Amino acid sequence: MAFEKTMTDFVADAAPRQVPQGALILDAGFSITAASPEVEALSGYPPLALRGMPVTRLIPDARSAPLGEPSVLSLLHRDGSLRPIQLWLTCLDGEAFGYICVIGDRRQLRSDERGWLEAEAAIAAIHSIPFALWISGLDGRCEVQNRASLSSWGNLIGKLPDETGLPPAAVREWQDINRRALAGEPVRHEWRYEAGGSLQVFENFVVPVVAGERTIGAVGLSVDITERKKAEARVTYLATHDDLTGLPKRSEMAAAVSRLLAGGRRFCLCLMDLDRFRVINDALGHHAGDLLLKEIAVRLQQHISGEQTAYHLGADEFALLLPLAVEEDAEVLVRPLLDLVSQPCVIAGTGVTSACSIGVSVCPEDGQSVVTLFKNADLAKSRAKHAGGNTLMCFSGEMHVDARARLALEADLRAAALAGQLTLCYEPRISLADSRICGMEVLLRWQHPVLGAIPPDVFIPLAEESGLIELISEWVLETACRQNRIWQDSGYPPMRMAVNISARQFNRALLETLQRVLSETGHPPQLLELEITESTLMLNMNEAVEIMHRLTDLGVRLVVDDFGTGYAAFTYLRNFPVAGVKLDNTFIRGVAVRVEDQAIVRAIIALAHTLKLTVVAEYVEDAAQMKALRELSCDECQGHLFSPPVAAAAFESFLGAGFTSLSGGT
């Protein structure tokens, strides 16, 4: 019975000398949960016999006793006799937690009133602790709990751990904590269990309760750290996973590759870029771009299985790690991804069809380190991109040779640009109304001292990738404008001069460059025509429209190049301040023989004329094509039928011939 006394005294702030009368702890229903040893002398019942007994069996009028002040009632002794007692009833920090009932003679209660009030304050302090506090006896039953404990686990008073309704694993841990504490070991323990479908985490501090030299119980303080653990898990997750797609990040991919390498596994690393993602992002907004990335991530996760893993490396780049059997063909395994990505979907209410470029490296054939495998897959992906997209390329040794050659060519191009070794050619443009020269297109040429003539479709993309394009384009504009001004000053009639503008150059800096060049050369802005591709306009339509309006404010004409097979449409052209379009050469090749091409060209010309746009056809190779274009009411054309691009001196000879020598045979 010594333990029951200790538990009651603990609740009373360890003041057994201040409360020598009998003490009862009652639950909210007025049933006795604990009793001090002194009650036995008053009632004849040992404390354990009183546990669970309604207090009204012992004190019939206990419920009518006022709170917080003494009252005289009768106690029903175990022998059946009624005995007068003095009773003091007070709440355990609210009626929901129960009551403390002190019984004895009137003189004792009065003399010990101060001590009891101090004990009551201690009880209130225990319940004010924001962490769950509980006390268990030697038998493992909970004898005391505070408000926070009640809130976390419900009523534990008088219950063993396996009677609390907690999950079995949590019960076993609680039993182990109690056993260790009762054995004299202070315990610090993180307690995890599932409750109501969610994870609960508590940090427990449990110490033995020692009276003299004996351990008589255990007291525990449990701190709810569930939210802290969730926050820590979230931080860890965000450090390793992309928040948008939920896929692991680049660092996780590198770690996974290292594990596969350490295990001697054969596998392939796939790097994937979405084609035209910037176009979709700019046309529909960044939110739509995010939705597309999430859709692609979902498709990849649904496609992979087993040890296969997908990653989001950033922006529109994804990666996959696919373990391979000894003789398994990586390309056969990866190729279905092209169809997977290209399946149409609806984003922000708009039907969108995406595509991707994929590069693949295989371990151990293409490398046996993270860096080498990633570099080779990236090189293969770049080749897929340059091949036009929606393509898969597997790494081969020749790619390294080509990459080194490309790097050397880039260095030579930089040297040629700085040394002034690039040249301009001029291709005449013919009016189909009278077969006279009505303008020209300026074209850039590079004669390499060792390799000879380098095609523009080789060195122009190289200039764009290396950042040389702005330097070169500024030189082209300045040189061409000076040359045309010389021809005008020499007495030749004014002619429009077309200059191609790359997507890299089409920005606000172009406005400053043009203003400076036109001012320094004295070239009339209305004779300068800038050719811009459809894809350039669609990269960022809002910015493109703003720049185009500012260019036309300078007096410069704008023409859409390669029109008809890109992303623009006449509905977009209504918003662009353009003066004309140039037909894509794919239509010109068959315009004299294919009814389908004729129908397309006729429709484009008719719609363009409705919008008051000039239509130019390029790559005209024979008289039949020119005749067909004239019949379809095309305005102007250019091509080898009239003259290939020629140097300034040769072009000036055409001008000196009176503008009529390039009639194309008609």
Residue 607's CATH number: 3.20.20.450
Look-up: residue for tokens 């919008």?
611
Q: Are 110 and 144 members of one domain?
A: no
| Cα–Cα distance for residue pair 581/578, rounded to 1 Å | 8
Mean pLDDT of 339-368: 89
Same domain flag for 343 and 431: no
Q: How many domains does the chain have?
A: 4
Q: Is residue 585 part of a domain?
A: yes
Q: Long-range contacts: 300-304, Cβ < 8 Å, 24+?
A: 300/247, 300/337, 300/340, 301/247, 303/336, 303/337, 303/340
Total Cβ atoms within 10 A of residue 49:
15
Question: What is the mean predicted confidence (pLDDT) over 383-397?
Answer: 85
Q: Where are the alpha helices (DSSP H) in 144-285?
A: 147-153, 168-182, 226-240, 250-262, 277-284
Residue 136 CA to residue 187 CA, distance in Å, equals 14
Domain ranges, residue 277: 241-395
Q: Are residues 467 and 528 in the same domain?
A: yes
* Residue 430 belongs to some domain of the structure: yes
More confident residue, 655 or 201: 201
Task: Summarize pLDDT for 78-130 with one digit per residue, the tens.
Answer: 988 778 888 888 876 555 667 888 887 555 544 455 545 555 555 666 777 88
Which of 70, 97, 125 is at the close of a domain? Answer: 125
Does residue 664 form part of some domain?
A: no
Tokens representing residue 380 in the block: 């293969």
Residue 264 lies in a domain: yes
State the alpha helices, DSSP H only, in 442-553: 456-466, 469-489, 508-521, 534-539, 541-553
What is the tens place of the pLDDT at every residue in 7-65? 444 443 333 333 446 888 888 889 998 888 888 888 999 988 898 899 999 998 898 88
Are both 355 and 456 inside the same structural domain? no
Q: Are residues 166 and 183 in the same domain?
A: yes
In a domain, 118, yes or no: yes
Whether residue 339 has pLDDT greater than 60: yes
Q: What is the mean pLDDT of the chain?
A: 83
Residues 230 and 269 both lie in one domain: no
155-159, 283-287, 568-572, range with the lowest pLDDT:
568-572
Task: Say how far residue 280 (Cα) sits from the centre of its chain.
Answer: 17
What CATH number has the domain bearing residue 27?
A: 3.30.450.20
Asked, for residue 402, whether it belongs to a domain, the answer is no
